[in-house]
Chain A
Amino acid sequence: MSELTVVGKPVQRVDAAEKLTGEAVYGYDLVLPNMLHGKTLFSPKAHAKIKSIHTEKAKKLPGVVAVVTGEDAPWTHGESVKDKPFLAQVKVRFIGEPVAAVAAEDEDTAQAAVKLIEVEYEDLPVYTDPEEACKPGAVEIHEDFGKYRKAEFIVQGAMPNVAEHFKLRTGNVEQGFKESDLVLEERYFVPIIQHAAMEPHSAHAQFDKESGRLTIWVANDAPFRALHEITEALGMPKEKIRFINPLQGGGFGSKGGLKVEPIAVALAFHTNGRPVRVKFNREETFISTLTRHEAVVYSKTGVKKDGMLVAREMTIYWGAGAYAEKSPTVCIRGSLPAPGPYRIPHVKVDGYAVYTNKPVAGSYRGYGIPQGAWAGEQQMDEIAKRLGIDPVAIRMRNIFVEGDISYWGEQLHAVGLKETLLKATEAIEWGKKPTISKPGVKIGKGFACIQKPTRSPTTSAAGVVVNAKGEVTVLAGTVEIGQGCNTILSQVAAEELKVPMDKVRMHPLDTDVIPFDASTTSSRSTYHMGNAVRRASIHAREQIMEAASPMLEAGVKDLDYADGKVFLKDQPQQALPIGEVVRRKLGINGEVRGDGSYTYEIGKDLDVETGHSDHASAFYMYATQAAEVAVDEDSGRVRVLRMSAAHDVGKAINPLNCAAQIEGGVVMGIGSALHEEMVVDNTGKVRNPSFLDYHLATSLDIPELIPIIVECPEPQGPYGAKGLGEPGLAPTPAAIGNAVADALGVRIYDLPLKPENVYWAMQKSKKKPAA
């Protein structure tokens, strides 16, 4: 039974067929009987008091069923700070904040009614720069922050508008800088970008007065967290609320937490039991849902002449936008590993999640790692250059290896970083001169290394049901957002029950029937839910073997299991298919259900004063990506020629899917490196809320992609697996930034590396007299 039959194989996706024929129903597609259509009024002001709202005209429009404002929905929510109203209360804090909503018989009527709602505002000072917003004397965007309900781990900090202050203290950085032969200090900047999942946001809600039940249909990647948040906000018992997940067209962090759900819920209480659908169009999705944190990163690093790191001090201002959302945990889990995957004796990090009057920032694939890496990994190359050491060599001297004690006080295991570094750089022929040579084009190579923790401690539970036909149904709360979890989890069940993949089915996600799962985030699913499904499958198998024991007239210890059959160890021809065992034991409608759950139990909260923990994460993901780029000297345009990406996944349960995750992540990373930027003007208005003006990578922007899977097994993971979804884009911008600096001899500190930024950096360096 030890040989793997399905796990480790490049199995085709189990969910692809319905997606190729148009049959798949996504949240945005869902039509419910007798459904009303909701539209939202968004704030045109970035920071203002609401003096009055008049809804009378809207209510009178024929076809309108309900108009709601903050008065009708006096609830707030938020993952760790309960600061966000369902609909604006008293004041608005960003352009795009939902202020009121209408439910009507059709969308045209709903939209017309929204235009009839009159709101009077009184302007307040607008903050669009996180560094300005936390200066002494700045006006508090959340004047009642102290009164909000919030998670215990929140540390507010002394400055204005700081929703979280993370501190890491190891050794003595001042002493470290004194002992260093070279100290470099620089400011780096990462702008706001957006997830831009191809399916825009939407939610459906229905409230049945008789039963008192509220049902929400939404493509949300953490339905149990959403359930908890809605329950807590409304003060309703959990069993009265139900989340049903239609298919989700991408997420990348944007569709956890509550986005359109509060608007749909607020309306559903006023529609006499009729369901209401609220869809955001693309522009509304851009301005009103979620963004990735802009970050200002000050990095100061001290090294010895031989390249050994001595001290690193980082101060990071995370632009949280108008509400805290996941900013506190992005600040914590993004700031902690920001100094990089290196042995550094003296480390000091201060991370500040700062409120501004911009769209709300939250979780985004990579969860704070790209911002830290953009600074830290470029500075590593700059140090290498000043010391005349090869960038690979300087990292080899400092990077984490098995058994190292990290600067946050944890002994590290299963560290495949070195192998990723060597393989990624080898794949782009590091050290060899580029083969291409064109006048006016500069070629360069660069790479970057990252480490990424996962949210810990967390729990996943699963059920695995075997029926009398030998068919297997997996009940798991992991959401298929495109990452391939349904395939991976099916492989795990198929492996443990030794049945073909086509005998395994994933149960649709419904919080009434599916066991608890923390969230589909943080690259935690393969590891946590993989373990849970594996345990549930083993539990089902054990019950089947016990049931088969009297049927085969042998003790369980004399039985073995393969090919979906139970058989006698010494007489393998004496076999019973598992479906047959279930039928004989429980009848034709019988089912055997196995249950399993997994919690990473030893994970500890970080110490508030030092940021230390001896088990900060269930596992760590390590990766190195390397780029070869061409820069046009006339225009400043950067083209990535080839990009390798070596990721330590522990064990590739599905190598095809691993490659797919890596490729997708890298290309998202290329977009964020070269052209993605949500432009917000000083009034707080997003100037490019469309795919015409916000440039995602297209099929023409893609280099040769070289995904490389490194397997350094994690003993606690299923079959040794770690996670992979999030790190795919984390080192990409820094790798490209290093390649551009190699090509030009000029370093660029601000993303994105769009032509004008590169062009002006080149011009500036030309003006400098030769050193």
Chain B
Amino acid sequence: MNKQIRFTLNGKNVSREVPTHRLLLDLLRDEIGMTGTKEGCGTGDCGACTVFLNGKPVNSCLVLSGELEGADIVTIEGLKIGPELHPIQKTFLQDGGAQCGYCTPGMLMMSKALLDENQNPTEEDIRFALSGNLCRCTGYAKIVQAVQDAAAMIRSKNVQ
């Protein structure tokens, strides 16, 4: 069944007729053509497809398009702040948080979700927050480091 739905995507209004059973992940990748959000498993087990839905991180492979009326969606393509990289993107670059990069969009979105709530996370907090995001390349150490450094960067900006 198709349905006309309206939502905001990275701050822009979108109105589309879509099958209600279409996964948000597939809506983004196949219908809208934004492939920054990655499919790693399609069953909610790897976190590669993490996006923000109404301010909360979700696996977009577990959200049906029919649920999206009036929703606010932010994807990896909307993570930059204007032309500038978000602190978490800067520190992933600097610390080597990305290798093959396929899990990276999901990692970044989940890291941002943590940092939005807690700007002074412990290493344990970070490991727990990212435990649903699988990475096969990095061994996680440099990702955890990048989140710590991003937190410090955000804290120092807030002080200024």
Residues of chain A having any CB pair with chain B under 8 Å: 12-13, 15-17, 19-26, 28-29, 31, 107, 195-200, 247-250, 252, 281-282, 481-484, 656-657, 660, 663-668, 690-692, 696-700, 702, 705
Contacts and interface: CB of A to CB of B under 8 A. Distances in A.
B76 interface: yes
Contacts of A281: 41-42
Contacts of B75: 22
B48 A198 contact: yes
Contacts of B136: 195-198, 250, 252, 664, 668, 696
Contacts of B139: 663-668, 697, 702, 705
Nearest to B41: A282
A310 to B, nearest CB: 39
Interface stretch (B1-9, B65-73, B123-131, B151-159): B123-131
A28 B39 CA distance: 8
A702 B140 contact: yes
Contact of B93 (A20, A24, A197): A20
Contacts of B56: none
Interface string B135-147: 1111111111000
Contacts of A31: 33, 35
Interface string B73-103: 0011101100001000100111010111111
Interface in B29-64: 29-30, 33-43, 45-46, 48
B139 to A, nearest CB: 3
B18 interface: no
A11 to B, nearest CB: 10
Given A199-B102, A691-B43, A12 B144 contact: no
A642 B105 CA distance: 29
Contacts of B41: 281-282, 690-691
Given A22-B37, A197-B136, A249-B100, 6 more contacts: A13-B93, A28-B39, A29-B35, A690-B43, A690-B45, A700-B127
Contacts of B142: 660, 663
A481 B100 contact: yes
A364 to B, nearest CB: 12
A699 B131 contact: yes
B98 A13 contact: yes
Contacts of B100: 197-199, 248-250, 481-482
B87 to A, nearest CB: 12
A20 B92 contact: yes
9 contacts: A21-B85, A28-B39, A107-B30, A249-B100, A250-B100, A282-B43, A667-B141, A692-B45, A698-B130
Contact of A22 (B35, B137, B141): B35
B113 interface: no
Interface of B: 29-30, 33-43, 45-46, 48, 75-77, 79-80, 85, 89, 92-94, 96, 98-105, 108, 126-128, 130-144
Contacts of A699: 126-128, 130-131, 133, 135, 140, 143-144
Contacts of A13: 93, 96, 98-99
B89 A20 contact: yes
Contact of A199 (B34, B38, B133, B144): B38
A691 B134 contact: yes
A250 B137 contact: yes
B24 to A, nearest CB: 15
Nearest to A480: B100
Given A20-B93, A198-B100, A198-B134, A702 B127 contact: yes
A204 to B, nearest CB: 14
Contacts of A29: 29, 35, 38
Contacts of B127: 699-700, 702
B108 A20 contact: yes
Nearest to A665: B139
Contacts of B132: 698
Contacts of B29: 29
A21 B35 contact: no
Given A19-B98, A22-B75, A198 B36 contact: no
B40 A12 contact: no
Given A660-B96, A698-B134, A699-B127, A15 B40 contact: no
Contact of A26 (B98, B102, B108): B102
Nearest to B127: A699
Among A13, A19, A657, chain B packs the most CB atoms within 10 A around the CB of: A19
Given A20-B85, A702-B141, A705-B139, A200 B40 contact: yes
B77 A16 contact: no
Nearest to B90: A20
Given A31-B33, A281-B42, A700-B128, A483 B99 contact: yes
B100 to A, nearest CB: 3
Contact of B102 (A249, A697, A705): A249
Contact of A19 (B30, B79, B101, B126): B101
Contact of B103 (A25, A198, A665): A198
Contact of A16 (B34, B92, B140): B92
Chain A CB within 10 Å, residue with most, of B33, B100, B128, B138: B100
A666 B138 CA distance: 9
Contacts of A247: 101
Nearest to B43: A690
A26 B92 CA distance: 19
A262 B105 CA distance: 30
Nearest to B102: A249
A717 to B, nearest CB: 23
A15 B104 CA distance: 13
A226 to B, nearest CB: 19
Nearest to A20: B89
Contacts of A702: 127, 139-141
Given A19-B98, A20-B98, A663-B138, A198 B42 contact: no
B93 A12 contact: yes
B120 to A, nearest CB: 18
Contacts of A28: 38-39
B140 A667 contact: yes
B101 to A, nearest CB: 3
A239 B42 CA distance: 38
B76 A21 contact: yes
Contacts of A484: 99
Nearest to A670: B139
Contacts of B42: 281-282
The 8 closest A-B pairs by CB, nearest first: A22-B36, A482-B100, A249-B102, A19-B101, A667-B139, A691-B45, A29-B35, A22-B76
